[in-house]
């Protein structure tokens, strides 16, 4: 059974551009969460989706948006990229609605570099 | 404010030696505490999950302890191996409507031959 898959694995973008990151959860998992991890720090929560609805949002600007599709895969979109958006973007899937009351499985992340 | 603090920030040990990583948290109400191992540039992988009633939990050479009264946890690694070189992240879940995960900044462990 495949784990959480994210694409692409690496990405280089220019300031001002937009980017779309993709995540496919473990089969049967209905919850997807997105995290941003800057080098040397722990992951910071961006969004959580459960059953195609947004269930939580972290302290990120409106340039960040996401959605979840009927097959429970998810996209994270970032507009007007800034140098500070350079980070490892992690996707986690879980069975339950809450991030913390069920096991969370992480993908290997998308490394975004903004130049 | 819900926070998770880890110490030390980084640690270097020789292969075969033991080490202990610390985690203090102020998350309330508490749901569970997790330790993750994260290799450089990869996603975190779960090592243990402990609820309020659990004091200790082992996963191979990894043993986690939890003192819910003092809000402290530790991760003990026995007979370290080169493959243990990674960041170890303490994560606490708040038992609120979102069951949000609150991450520490991690301890970066380097095991040398």
Name the residue of chain B whose CA is nearest to A58's CA: B100
Across the range B83-102, mean pLDDT stands at 85
Q: Is B10 on the interface with A (CB under 8 A)?
A: no
What local confidence, expressed as pLDDT, does residue A2 receive? 75
Nearest to A45 among B45, B89, B100 (CB): B100
Question: CA angle B56-B36-B77, nearest 5°?
Answer: 55
Determine whether A40 is exposed, middle or buried from the number of CB atoms within 10 Å of its CB (0-12, 13-18, 19+): exposed
From the list B108, B105, B86, B43, the residue with the least C-alpha distance to A89 is B43
Is pLDDT at A1 greater than 70 in this prediction?
no
Across the range A21-37, mean pLDDT stands at 95
What local confidence, expressed as pLDDT, does residue A102 receive? 74
- Tell me whether strands A53-57 and A44-50 are parallel, antiparallel or unpaired: antiparallel
What local confidence, expressed as pLDDT, does residue B41 receive? 84
Is pLDDT at A46 greater than 90 in this prediction?
yes
Is pLDDT at A40 greater than 90 in this prediction?
no
| DSSP three-state, residue B96 | coil
Output the CA torsion sign for A36, A38, A39, A40: negative
Give B 72-111 residues with CB within 8 A of chain A: 89, 91, 93-95, 98-101, 103-106
What local confidence, expressed as pLDDT, does residue B99 receive? 60
Q: Is A22 on the interface with B (CB under 8 A)?
A: no
Interchain proximity A42–B103, CB inside 8 Å:
yes
Q: Report chain A's C-alpha Rg in angstroms.
A: 13
From the list A52, A32, A53, A43, the residue with the least C-alpha distance to A95 is A32
Across the range B22-34, mean pLDDT stands at 91
Interchain proximity B101–A41, CB inside 8 Å:
no
From the list B9, B31, B41, B34, the residue with the least C-alpha distance to B103 is B34
Q: Which residues in chain B belong to E strands, given as ranges?
A: 4-7, 10-14, 19-25, 30-38, 45-51, 56-59, 62-67, 72-77, 86-94, 101-103, 107-112
Output the CA torsion sign for A27, A38, B48, B30: negative
Min Cα–Cα distance to chain B from A12, Å: 15
The total of other beta-carbon atoms located within 10 Å of residue B56's CB is 12
Task: Find chain B residues with C-beta within 8 A of A99's C-beta.
Answer: 93, 98-101
Q: Report chain B's C-alpha Rg in angstroms.
A: 14
Share of chain B above pLDDT 70, in %: 96
């Amino acid at each position: 059974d495949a784990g959480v898959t994210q694409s692409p694995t690496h990405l280089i973008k220019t300031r001002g551009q937009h980017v779309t990151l993709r995540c496919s959860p473990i089969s049967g998992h209905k919850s997807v969460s997105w995290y941003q991890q800057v080098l040397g720090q722990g992951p910071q929560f961006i969004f959580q989706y459960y059953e195609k609805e947004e269930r939580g949002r972290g302290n990120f600007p409106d340039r960040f948006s996401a959605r979840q599709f009927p097959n429970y895969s998810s996209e994270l979109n970032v507009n007007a990229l800034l140098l500070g958006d350079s980070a490892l973007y992690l996707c986690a899937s879980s069975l339950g609605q809450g991030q913390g009351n069920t096991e969370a499985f992480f993908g290997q992340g998308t490394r975004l570099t903004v130049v | 404010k819900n926070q998770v603090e880890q110490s030390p920030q980084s640690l270097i040990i020789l292969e075969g030696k033991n080490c202990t990583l610390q985690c203090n948290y102020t998350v309330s109400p508490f749901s569970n505490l997790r330790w993750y191992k994260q290799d450089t540039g990869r996603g975190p992988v779960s090592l243990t999950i402990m609820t309020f009633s659990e004091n200790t939990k082992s996963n191979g050479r990894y043993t986690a302890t939890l003192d819910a009264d003092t809000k402290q946890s530790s991760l003990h690694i026995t007979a370290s191996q080169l493959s243990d070189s990674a960041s170890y992240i303490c994560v606490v879940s708040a038992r609120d409507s979102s069951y949000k995960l609150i991450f520490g900044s991690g301890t970066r462990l380097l095991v040398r031959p």
